[in-house]
Structure 1
Amino acid sequence: MLAHHPLGARLPDSAHAVCASLPTMADVIGYEEKDPRVMEKLDLGYPRFIPHIYLRRLLEHLRRRRGWGERDAFLVASEGAARRLLDHARPKDAEVKTEEGFVAVHFPRDPGAADRARLFLQHTGCGISSRQAEDALIQEGKLAARQAEEIVEGDGAAQCVEMLRAASGARSAEDLFLCRSGMNAFHAVFLALQRAQAARGRDLWLQIGWLYLDTQRILEKFTAAPSSFLWIHDPLDQRAIEEAFERHGARIAGVVTETPTNPLVLTGDIPRLAELSRAHGAALILDPSTVGLANVDALPHADTLVVSLTKYASNRGDVMAGLIVVNRSSPFAEALRRDLGEFVEPLYPRDAARLAWAAREMDRISREGSVNTERLAEWIARHPSVARVHWAGAGGSRRNYEILARGKNCFGAMLSVELKRPLAEVFDRLRCVKAPSFGARFTMACPFVYLTHYERAKDEAGRRWLRERGLEPELLRVSPGVEPFDRIREAFEEALA
């Protein structure tokens, strides 16, 4: 996979790949601007952002068969998801139709409501998967057969849960909830804790560090009011964190941070954060997705973990999934176990069977990717074209990270590079999979800020706003795979030459 891949190439070469190639900065910008030249090449992409070709075909078939005409239509995993989508999108004269295994929502054409519905699906990850759409198309006689792939025999979900229980350090399978996506995991935890804390008069959510885009969007959009969301940009600013608890401790419902953060790969003082949260009655949600469950032991410090299994566990790059792990010693454990079932959208059985097959190699992929990350970080930091490298072993947060790390060489497969030359010169020349994910068997790279904060990255005022908050717009995020390190280094030597 250390090669140049054409625009729109499925990576991996599977009908269920979660990434498609965006090989140049012009392609990335074209994707963000919805340039037809780019969009017509993308029959799939990261599933919450680009509707899969099977999903589009299924929607078109249902539109004709059900006589929906030109109405806006969306497919979701459950009736609960349909209700929440409608509450958020607020369309007029909406109809909900329960199909076999999923739910269709449609309403008269309304661009505003349709945009809100699309963003709700993106933020909450409660849509249907490509495998579920594939099965529905086969049942409707619109597709001949499933794609052949290796899966486990028996109950894939149960096998996933047992592997992940051991990896997370949870005591019981009852403490794990397998979800359709990492964002569905976070959204479900957010709703369950929001309910529990509202009864205690708590409505403030504290975000620490730069987090994954849609985690931040849920905190911004689904809290009660703008005054119910507080963001401390630097997870190493312990003084600001302490002051937030001193000023707002009685209001804080939950604290959310990543261990470490994405894309700056910073780790705050998690034991102290846990101490503050518990002393003030706030729930602490930790997300170790950046480095994966095999690399950090975060559960003892958290009330609950939320994890994207699309990374590391689904290391083949063809399943989107998420996980919630409840710390049963948490004062919120009973409320979480009671209410999460209402909000979690369970993983589709075929996705679970494929995930269980891939997750058997999670430990090895995590370990080998970590070793390559450390070697690449140390090599690339010395390159004259590189200004700075962010990774779990760098700078002032390394000691904080090592408190959580499961051992040596457990740095995870992510580093972010600030360059002394234009990003496009390096990115366009780089030979690897170029798409917005990480934690795969193969090396990946992306211009992270352009894909997550494009509206700010495209003009100087927005770029200044990002830099003031510690995020360099021209950042190259890299996720080293398990290829021989010499081959990875050669690809970067060429790009930086």
Structure 2
Amino acid sequence: MPGVPVELPFNNTLGETVPPDTPHAVSVSLPTWRSNVGYEEGEQWVLEKMQCGYPRFFIHKIIQRLARTIVEQHGAPDQDLAMLFPTITCAKRCVAFISHNNPSLEQSRLCILEFVPVESNASQFVQPHLCAVLYPKELWPTAKAFWQHTGEGIQSRRAEFCLQALESKTMVLSTPQSSIITPIAKGPRRYQRLSTDKTLSKGSTTHTNGNTPERNGVAVPDSAQFVEERFGRNLDVTFASQAKLAVRKRIAGSLTSQAELPDSLNDATDLSRQRSRDVPGFSVDDVFLYPCGMNAIFHAHLALRLAVREDKSVMYGFPYVDTLKVLEKFGAGAEFYGHGNAADLDHLEKRLENGERFLSLFCEFPGNPLLKTPDLKRIRSLADKYDFAVVIDETIGNFLNVHVLPYADILVSSLTKIFSGDSNVMGGCMIVNPRSQYYNRIKEHFNEHYEDNQFEGDSVYLERNSRDFVGRIQRINHNAELIADILRSHSAVKHVNYPKYSDTKAFYDACRLPDGGYGGLLSAVFHRVEDAAVFYDHLDTQKGPSLGTNFTLSSPFVLLAHYTELDWAAQFGCEVSLVRFSVGLEDADRLRTVFGNALAAIPS
């Protein structure tokens, strides 16, 4: 790989959180091409500076500290490490995965511990709860794979909350150490119907002026400072429930108000924004929250397996890395159609005509990082004829730009990305299409199995961050088109991947809303890797993993996501010289200067 460690005055932040000084950031600064290589190679000059990382790849230091504390207090001599989960059901799935992938393992070496609040009675405040899977250190690669692929692990705010509770002894061990390895096929009736009732619970929070809530006569500002300073046992259950409902209504397209809670819940529905969910019978009760987008994908796959049948799935189009891993490692396996073109659909159709059956087809709209758009009309037709479910990840397109629900049985999305924008909280969602032939079976499955594991503190941040979601999208669309045009005009750039300029543009436009754009994500492939490295090193933007941030975030995505399989990725058009850009809200002239300067640095 080209390049040596480079330090530039505007990018001397290797390993710092992105954004800077953000305790729960979901990105980390990798400011030079060489630092990305160093991270993938495990070089100490990079790793020793890493304050955080993308949460499913880099376990947050607060989570690590809590896990060490639990192991020190409760681990057996051969139980060196712990993975932390929000519920016993998630923990059992982890144990089942470890056991399946290590068939000769003595089951006594695995242990599930459950931690519960000291006060067992119902409270108006959020209560600490988590489960720990203790295991020997040689099983780390398997345990980490489960954590990364499924998104089942706890998030950093829950870890911070539970660590405080453990240290203050307000959360204690509930069960003795035992070996719990039974795979989960059916579970308890944990589903709590998420009511759309807009009234407040009695005795909680009152509003005297329509803006500032009061509790026991004391003014309580609905602000980020309130959440951070009065966290722990002072996070009101009613307040958190209102935040979850507001997030779900915003996803459903029925809430666009930027007012404080709970006033925004009482605002009239903005019918002009419901076009993206224009399906008969659809309601907010078809929206389900998850701790992260990957967890929503994992549970979409799990729900179809348990509610419909166990069969192979199809991954259509070059995907985000862990989606394919979930389909391959859980259930009957997957067929990968990585080009995502008409020839792939022709091949799939012949197999279906010859009697092969599939459970589902997963695709992204559009894909990441190639920004190709699947032919949803043809896919839907095949699904209806040959009885398989269609699961669409709409994260990149986002529902203010495109309307894809009619083509899907299930929609999934990462709320971590543009829905939040602030790069300081994780979240995911699933939408079940009420017109799907599988709708009743999926909803019955959720009545038995669904657990709302999105931590209440994360929900509060998601609600606050997403209040201006509608207002941000148009500017981001405009800025991304500007950057695409600048990159396309330079001779060092081989081609630009962007829905507007893709050979699949017609498929995108078929689902584009009248006022929708082409999104904020694009990528550029350079003729030479050396030119890509020079350009990246001189690009004055934030640089790190993730996307959908309110600020422009750049990454040598293929290098970072597929470092050990570069030749495999290249055969699908993902070349190592690809640089991906998630374009933000900056002034257009500023972006024009930043990208122009980086391109000018490439030797002629």
> Which TM-score applies when normalising by structure 2?
0.76
Alpha-carbon distance in 1 for matches of 2:451, 2:411: 14
2:504 counterpart SS class: helix
Q: Does 1:474 align with 2:577?
A: yes
Alpha-carbon distance in 2 for matches of 1:374, 1:51: 35
Alignment-derived partner of residue 33 in structure 1: 41
| Correspondence for 1:140 among 166, 177, 182 | 166
In the TM superposition, what whole-angstrom CA distance separates every residue of 1:415-471 from its partner, at most 9, and x where no partner exists? 0101134221111111111111111100001011112111023xxxx2xx3322222
Alignment-derived partner of residue 292 in structure 1: 398
- Give the counterpart letter for 1:181 in structure 2: C
Greater shift, 362-371 or 411-420, is seen at 362-371
Alpha-carbon distance in 2 for matches of 1:487, 1:308: 28
- Work out which structure has the larger RCO, using CA pairs closer than 8 Å and 6 or more positions apart in sequence: 1
Q: Does 1:279 align with 2:305?
A: no
Greater shift, 161-170 or 11-20, is seen at 161-170
1:18/1:46 contact within 8 Å kept:
yes
- Give the counterpart letter for 1:140 in structure 2: L
Alignment-derived partner of residue 159 in structure 1: 246
| Correspondence for 2:359 among 246, 253, 278 | 253
1:264 counterpart SS class: coil
Alpha-carbon distance in 1 for matches of 2:115, 2:76: 14
Alpha-carbon distance in 2 for matches of 1:446, 1:173: 35
Alpha-carbon distance in 2 for matches of 1:409, 1:192: 31
Alignment-derived partner of residue 85 in structure 2: 76
Alignment-derived partner of residue 365 in structure 1: 472
In the TM superposition, residue 159 of structure 1 has moved relative to its aligned partner by 1.0
- Give the counterpart letter for 2:394 in structure 1: P
In the superposition, relative to structure 1, how do residues 474 and 149 fare at CA in structure 2: closer, same or farther (>3 Å)?
farther
In the TM superposition, what whole-angstrom CA distance separates every residue of 1:306-347 from its partner, at most 9, and x where no partner exists? 101111111111111100000001011112222246265521
1:96 counterpart SS class: strand
In the TM superposition, what whole-angstrom CA distance separates every residue of 1:7-44 from its partner, at most 9, and x where no partner exists? 11111231111111011122112211222221222222
Alpha-carbon distance in 1 for matches of 2:423, 2:91: 28
Alpha-carbon distance in 2 for matches of 1:370, 1:115: 39
In the superposition, relative to structure 1, how do residues 318 and 304 fare at CA in structure 2: closer, same or farther (>3 Å)?
same
Q: Does 1:197 align with 2:197?
A: no
- Give the counterpart letter for 1:268 in structure 2: P
Alpha-carbon distance in 2 for matches of 1:6, 1:246: 52
Alpha-carbon distance in 2 for matches of 1:183, 1:410: 25
- Give the counterpart letter for 1:89 in structure 2: I
1:418 counterpart SS class: strand
In the TM superposition, residue 268 of structure 1 has moved relative to its aligned partner by 1.8
Alpha-carbon distance in 2 for matches of 1:262, 1:149: 39
| Correspondence for 2:11 among 4, 18, 25 | 4
- Percent of aligned pairs sharing the same letter: 30
- Give the counterpart letter for 1:95 in structure 2: C
Alpha-carbon distance in 2 for matches of 1:96, 1:473: 42
Unmatched tracts of structure 2, length 5 or more: 1-8, 100-104, 117-128, 170-224, 254-273
Alpha-carbon distance in 1 for matches of 2:478, 2:311: 42
1:286 counterpart SS class: strand
In the TM superposition, what whole-angstrom CA distance separates every residue of 1:107-139 from its partner, at most 9, and x where no partner exists? 2x241x221111101000011111111112222
Alignment-derived partner of residue 22 in structure 1: 30
In the TM superposition, residue 147 of structure 1 has moved relative to its aligned partner by 4.1
In the TM superposition, what whole-angstrom CA distance separates every residue of 1:81-100 from its partner, at most 9, and x where no partner exists? 11111111125321111113
- Give the counterpart letter for 1:9 in structure 2: E
2:402/2:516 contact within 8 Å kept:
no
Larger CA Rg, structure 1 vs 2: 2
Alpha-carbon distance in 2 for matches of 1:328, 1:9: 44
2:15/2:51 contact within 8 Å kept:
yes
Alpha-carbon distance in 2 for matches of 1:388, 1:491: 19
Alignment-derived partner of residue 45 in structure 1: 53
- Give the counterpart letter for 1:82 in structure 2: A
Alignment-derived partner of residue 561 in structure 2: 452
Alignment-derived partner of residue 114 in structure 2: 98
In the superposition, relative to structure 1, how do residues 102 and 478 fare at CA in structure 2: closer, same or farther (>3 Å)?
same
Alpha-carbon distance in 2 for matches of 1:22, 1:304: 35
- Give the counterpart letter for 1:231 in structure 2: F
1:442/1:483 contact within 8 Å kept:
yes
Alpha-carbon distance in 2 for matches of 1:3, 1:339: 51
Alpha-carbon distance in 2 for matches of 1:136, 1:106: 17
1:5/1:21 contact within 8 Å kept:
no
Alignment-derived partner of residue 229 in structure 1: 334
Alpha-carbon distance in 2 for matches of 1:439, 1:395: 20
User: For the aligned residues, what is the CA RMSD?
Assistant: 2.3
The 5 Å alignment of 1:357-436 reads 357-408=464-515, 410-421=517-528, 422=530, 423-436=532-545
Alpha-carbon distance in 2 for matches of 1:291, 1:234: 19
The count of aligned residue pairs is 480
Alpha-carbon distance in 2 for matches of 1:210, 1:88: 25
Alpha-carbon distance in 2 for matches of 1:6, 1:324: 36
1:292 counterpart SS class: coil
| Correspondence for 2:595 among 487, 492, 495 | 492
Alpha-carbon distance in 2 for matches of 1:432, 1:183: 26
> Which TM-score applies when normalising by structure 1?
0.92
Alignment-derived partner of residue 436 in structure 2: 330
Alpha-carbon distance in 1 for matches of 2:480, 2:591: 10
Structure 1 ranges of 4+ moved more than 6 A: 149-152
In the TM superposition, what whole-angstrom CA distance separates every residue of 1:49-108 from its partner, at most 9, and x where no partner exists? 10111111111222222245552211012111111111111253211111131101102x
- Give the counterpart letter for 1:450 in structure 2: L
1:188/1:340 contact within 8 Å kept:
no
- Give the counterpart letter for 1:233 in structure 2: G
Unmatched tracts of structure 1, length 5 or more: none
In the superposition, relative to structure 1, how do residues 142 and 476 fare at CA in structure 2: closer, same or farther (>3 Å)?
farther
In the superposition, relative to structure 1, how do residues 61 and 420 fare at CA in structure 2: closer, same or farther (>3 Å)?
same
